[in-house]
Structure 1
């Protein structure tokens, strides 16, 4: 007897799954863009490579500090509010690059990255388990693996897009506006937050 094929995502869960999968792309993008910015920070702020290591450390400090609070928040208020709150933190952190660029303050840039890290903690805490719930239990692992592939896609796109915005064709610093990629990213994330705040998730 031919075994019935179980779909990866049921039709009623398709739109929520697409939205959740977009989050994997967004946090992959946020992580990968740091490697491009590292060189840019060293040039425009005249800091050493050792000093620039704080860029990575500060962002991941957001994960360390916010991991348990994010889990408690999502347990109490649900996945959707957890995602929206995480997106808002992500967007606020990105837009904080505007005053950081204006004052060329490395500390302000670090604070902005910390806020982004806190937002990403909420997104990952909510999106990973929620992706497994949007369909049959038998396909939960495949569904999560598929969603996580977009994390890698975000990691591929970030250096390409950031490089186009920040560097000239000869590899030298271009516009000098380190905030530009984050302004674009912040506006996109804010739009995604608006969509999540309006749509009804099962």
Structure 2
């Protein structure tokens, strides 16, 4: 049963304290997937040693983790449309804790298959949490600043993500732990404890149910046409899903093979030092994300994403070609420019979806399947050639994101230009239309952006 209108409100209807409270509460969830994401990326290199597996086989962990996103995200979006954000968060945290708990026997008895299964359950929980948290932050205010809000909120999982490599550099790759999983089991028990604590806190805290407050142009369109545009016709969301597959795949592969990349550069970097350098890369990523929050208050998200996507493509190609420290420096630059891409794609893809917000959010989160597919391709290339050349795989993903962003910019410019040239003519036509069916016919045969100018 879908939640009735009287149980929901828009972000603008919340008081300042209530808004800040809800934002802080939901943002706290981001530490769960931020820490897990940072941890799972360093386990690739560690499992290659402990289980004596190839680089390609080590990516099965990413396949389970992000494959869970693809499987569960659409169900999470549909479920939360019926039961609300809070209950959806409880379900996500429950799955997250269960998966983490079962990582303990997998580590104790050193069963790689057990890790893959437990990681899949954790991924199902985390995808549910991301659908809830990302869609909530997106609609928690005006759509105009949704990208800036989401970037700020995603700065906190970025902080948590460099904790994983730091733990690995200190306890996974040193001494007896370099060839065992003794420390890993306790880390995952701590992760399970965090999920349980958060679940208890959300049980006692009040989280208001909110819906998206559409921008004026969409409200006018709904009033004229007689209803919202179906989700399958929301092309910015459909292509946003494709762009998210490309970016998430690129981002995950860049991180997953970073430890191998540092070691293979032949400049005297051991696995422990490489894990520490990965943590510094994640810090660079985090700084870039908070800088992006400021920039997005002044620059259109699609335009900024175009520039950042181009820089990501360039530096990823340089990482795959330059020798020694030159490639390492370019990798740091790559992490910086990747920082705002995910939140911008998410905000642009879910903008103005109205009643389809939760379903659209689920679709965009499904794009995380790229994190399962790209590592397989990069792992196979790394085994056949070597790690540095395998960075050509994520470069292809960044190029696809750039094309998506440039397409949005071109579309915006085209619509605005067409609107300015025909505003007076269309205003006269719209003013003369009294019948809803005639208005719908005019909408279907006129540029959408021009109708948005009609008040």
Same fold at TM > 0.5: yes
State the Cα deviation string for residues 82-130 of structure 1 (Å, max 9, x = none): 1111111111111111111232211111001101111111011110111
Q: Which residue among 185, 188, 196 is the counterpart of 2:191?
A: 185
Find the counterpart in structure 2 of residue 88 from structure 1.
94
Residue 49 (1) aligns with residue 50 (2): no
Distance 1:14 1:117 in 2: 28
Question: Per the alignment, in what secondary structure is the counterpart of residue 173 of structure 1?
Answer: helix
Find the counterpart in structure 2 of residue 173 from structure 1.
178
CA gap 1:173/1:97 in 2 versus in 1, 3 angstroms: same
Distance 1:104 1:141 in 2: 42
Structure 1 residue 14 displacement after superposition: 2.1
Find the counterpart in structure 1 of residue 451 from structure 2.
none
State the Cα deviation string for residues 22-73 of structure 1 (Å, max 9, x = none): 2222212211211211122122222222211101111111011112111111
* Count of residue pairs brought into register by the alignment: 194
Structure 1, 99-108 or 120-129: larger mean CA deviation: 99-108
Find the counterpart in structure 2 of residue 142 from structure 1.
148
Structure 1 residue 135 displacement after superposition: 4.4
Would the aligned equivalents of 2:110 and 2:181 in 1 still touch at CA under 8 Å?
Answer: no
CA gap 1:172/1:106 in 2 versus in 1, 3 angstroms: closer
Find the counterpart in structure 1 of residue 18 from structure 2.
12
Would the aligned equivalents of 2:99 and 2:122 in 1 still touch at CA under 8 Å?
Answer: yes
Find the counterpart in structure 2 of residue 3 from structure 1.
none
Structure 1 residue 137 displacement after superposition: 5.6
Find the counterpart in structure 1 of residue 27 from structure 2.
21
Q: Which residue among 61, 64, 73 is the counterpart of 2:79?
A: 73
Distance 2:43 2:137 in 1: 31
Would the aligned equivalents of 1:165 and 1:180 in 2 still touch at CA under 8 Å?
Answer: no
CA gap 1:163/1:22 in 2 versus in 1, 3 angstroms: farther
- Of structures 1 and 2, the one with the larger relative CO (CA 8 A, separation 6+) is 1
- Normalised to the residue count of structure 1, the TM-score between the two structures is 0.86
- Normalised to the residue count of structure 2, the TM-score between the two structures is 0.40
**Structure 2 gap segments, 5+ residues each:** 1-11, 209-455
Structure 1 residue 81 displacement after superposition: 0.9
Larger Rg: 2
CA gap 1:153/1:124 in 2 versus in 1, 3 angstroms: same
Q: Which residue among 114, 118, 122 is the counterpart of 2:120?
A: 114
Question: Per the alignment, in what secondary structure is the counterpart of residue 31 of structure 2?
Answer: helix
